[in-house]
Amino acid sequence: MSLFRKKTLTSLLAQAADSEKGLKRTLGAGNLIALGIGAIIGAGLFVRTAAAAGGHAGSAVTISFIVAAVGCAFAGLCYAEFASMIPIAGSAYTYAYATMGELIAWVIGWALILEYALGAATVSIAWSEFLNKLVGGRIPYEWSHSPFESALDANNVLHHGIVNAPSLLILLLLSLLLIKGTQESAIVNSIIVIIKVSIVLLFIVLGWQFINPVNHHPYMIPADAKPAILPNGQEYSYSNFFRHGWGGVLRGAAIVFFAFIGFDAVSTAAQEAKNPKRDMPIGILGSLVICTILYILFSFVLTGVAPYTDFVRAGKEASVAYAIETYMHGYGWLATMVTIGILAGFSSVILVMLLGQSRVFFSMANDGLLPKVFCDLHPKFRTPYKSNILLFLFVGSFATLIPGDITGDLTSIGTLLAFALVSIGVWIMRKSDPATPRPFKTPWVPVVPILGAAICIAMIVSLDNTTLLVAFAWMVLGLIIYFGYSKGSSKLNKS
């Protein structure tokens, strides 16, 4: 059927080899690892850790990180095989086009907008909030919140938001950086990565001497654990199966799983890697390994410094700063450094999300599924500058006008759907093109792809009904666009 027509592997490899018309190959293995770390280490480390520990896993949140990392590793191994085999921009979209056909490729490309574009919008809103905290709340409420938000100040005066100017500013600066060039963007990202990883290591090293062994015993929350006190004064019971023991560890893994989201963005830069067959697997899996080690050490120190019950009432943005100020006397300056680290982390996440989205659009436009404007390259910088500009306007409109809680919950579905389809795609490609050279091979096929897809689908099903309903509506809109424009404009259709 024409809906499931596929791009041949031969045409994809020919496209990858076209150095004149393609994106500029400037990235080495180190740049790709830094891109991965830049996308992965963000709010997840500073926010998800305390939320999972306080509500479900206790000190065993370290085990939760291991479980989540194993789940990500299944998908990461599949991404590494495809990225080394098909070094084309577009990530999961391109892989789906080669294995499952055009309609599935369109669905995954449309879903990636939820991950990359809305993800960048959500993080830019959080960036604005943390910047305001860093400067002591000096940014007026009206110019740091959406027009749909309002709040009373200390004098009971009601303020209404006008536009979230700081989020628009960071999106503009990073979009201009991406237009200038991928190499320049990678250099800035590497500097940011060094800053935030240094702050994470600083907390680990300094916090280690403040670990209280009592806080790590028992390591898992017991079923008869004393209830914690919520901010509203009510008790938080740990008797539920998913709030203690192994059940709590598994629920904690589901919470911190999203702290790993972002490594797949490395694969969107495959067409800009100098030696993608060697460097892409290193970039994808290397960034996963490094972040997993940092996450385990960080969570071990955090739950050793402060008892897990404290994070029930301080389990959001302030959790790490709270632990430092309460239990690490004399290190108040470190709390400020952590806030700077979070800002740096947000900046690199936004940068890589914008990079990933523009590269997905580049590939979809090259295939005729989106207008040609999204694949026009700058005559000097060889970057998809028009796509970057349009993406800035699109993401900026969400970031400046829509509250963050509306955009935040949608970012995960696109990621999980991409992970599942890539895992299935590796298995399909092994059957359909067994003789094609694979510089990197996913081990234990089909066990690894099946486990990778199963875990991701289970995560999708576990999301709340409102998020699933909005995502379904988004997919219906995407199908309307596909049948109204993309199906007829497809280059495969014309050929």
pLDDT exceeds cutoff 60 at 321: yes
- Distances from the Cα of 37 to the Cα of 254, 299, 319, angstroms: 20, 17, 22
pLDDT exceeds cutoff 90 at 338: no
Other residues' Cβ atoms within 10 Å of the Cβ of residue 472 = 11
Q: What confidence tier does 354 reach under pLDDT thresholds 50, 70, 90?
A: very high
Rounded Cα–Cα distance for residues 42 and 123 (Å): 9
Other residues' Cβ atoms within 10 Å of the Cβ of residue 403 = 15
H-assigned helices in 86-164:
92-99, 102-134
Tens digit of each residue's pLDDT (9 = 90 or more) over 444-463: 999 999 998 998 888 777 67
pLDDT exceeds cutoff 90 at 175: yes
Q: Classify residue 450 as left (phi > 0), alpha (psi -120 to 50) or beta.
A: alpha
Q: Look at residue 356 in the predicted model and tell me its pLDDT.
A: 87
- Residue 138 — φ and ψ, nearest 5°? -75, -15
DSSP 8-state code for residue 161: -
User: What pTM was computed for the model?
Assistant: 0.81
Q: Which domain holds residue 104?
A: 2-494
Tens digit of each residue's pLDDT (9 = 90 or more) over 18-50: 655 567 778 888 888 988 898 888 767 777 788
Q: Classify residue 441 as left (phi > 0), alpha (psi -120 to 50) or beta.
A: beta
Q: What confidence tier does 216 reach under pLDDT thresholds 50, 70, 90?
A: very high
Q: What confidence tier does 391 reach under pLDDT thresholds 50, 70, 90?
A: very high
pLDDT exceeds cutoff 60 at 316: no
Q: Look at residue 48 in the predicted model and tell me its pLDDT.
A: 77
pLDDT exceeds cutoff 90 at 53: yes
Extended beta strands in 171-266, E state: 228-229, 235-236
Rounded Cα–Cα distance for residues 84 and 16 (Å): 11
Rounded Cα–Cα distance for residues 365 and 106 (Å): 11
Q: Biggest alpha carbon distance in the chain?
A: 72
Number of domains making up the chain: 1
Average pLDDT over residues 266-278: 83
User: Quick check: bond before 446 cis, omega within 30?
Assistant: yes
**In the numeric block, which tokens belong to residue 361?**
């659009």
Extended beta strands in 232-376, E state: 235-236
CATH number at residue 54: 1.20.1740.10
Q: Look at residue 388 in the predicted model and tell me its pLDDT.
A: 94
Q: Look at residue 189 in the predicted model and tell me its pLDDT.
A: 87
Q: Look at residue 268 in the predicted model and tell me its pLDDT.
A: 79
Residues 46, 319 contacting (CB under 8 angstroms): yes
Computed from CA positions of residues 317, 319, 325, 329, in that sequence, does the dihedral angle turn out positive or negative? negative
pLDDT exceeds cutoff 90 at 495: no
Q: Which amino acid is at 195?
A: I
Tens digit of each residue's pLDDT (9 = 90 or more) over 95-117: 889 888 999 999 989 988 877 88
Q: Look at residue 303 in the predicted model and tell me its pLDDT.
A: 96
Average pLDDT over residues 396-400: 86
Helix (H, G, I), strand (E, B) or coil at 83: helix
Rounded Cα–Cα distance for residues 114 and 133 (Å): 28
Q: Look at residue 42 in the predicted model and tell me its pLDDT.
A: 76
pLDDT exceeds cutoff 80 at 467: no
pLDDT exceeds cutoff 90 at 385: yes
Instruction: Indicate the average pLDDT of the chain.
Output: 86
Average pLDDT over residues 392-417: 76
Long-range pairs for 214-217 at CB < 8 Å and ≥24 separation? 214/307, 215/59, 215/303, 215/304, 215/305, 215/306, 215/307, 215/308, 216/59, 216/303, 216/304
Q: Percentage helix, strand, coil, to 5, in the chain?
A: 70, 5, 25
Helix (H, G, I), strand (E, B) or coil at 380: coil
Rounded Cα–Cα distance for residues 166 and 122 (Å): 13
The percentage of the chain sitting over the pLDDT mark of 90, rounded to a whole number, equals 37
- Residues β-bridged to residue 273: 27
**In the numeric block, which tokens belong to residue 305?**
């410094």
Q: What confidence tier does 308 reach under pLDDT thresholds 50, 70, 90?
A: very high
Q: Between 423 and 132, whose confidence is greater?
A: 423
pLDDT exceeds cutoff 90 at 368: yes
Q: What confidence tier does 318 reach under pLDDT thresholds 50, 70, 90?
A: low
Residues 190, 352 contacting (CB under 8 angstroms): no
Q: Look at residue 494 in the predicted model and tell me its pLDDT.
A: 76
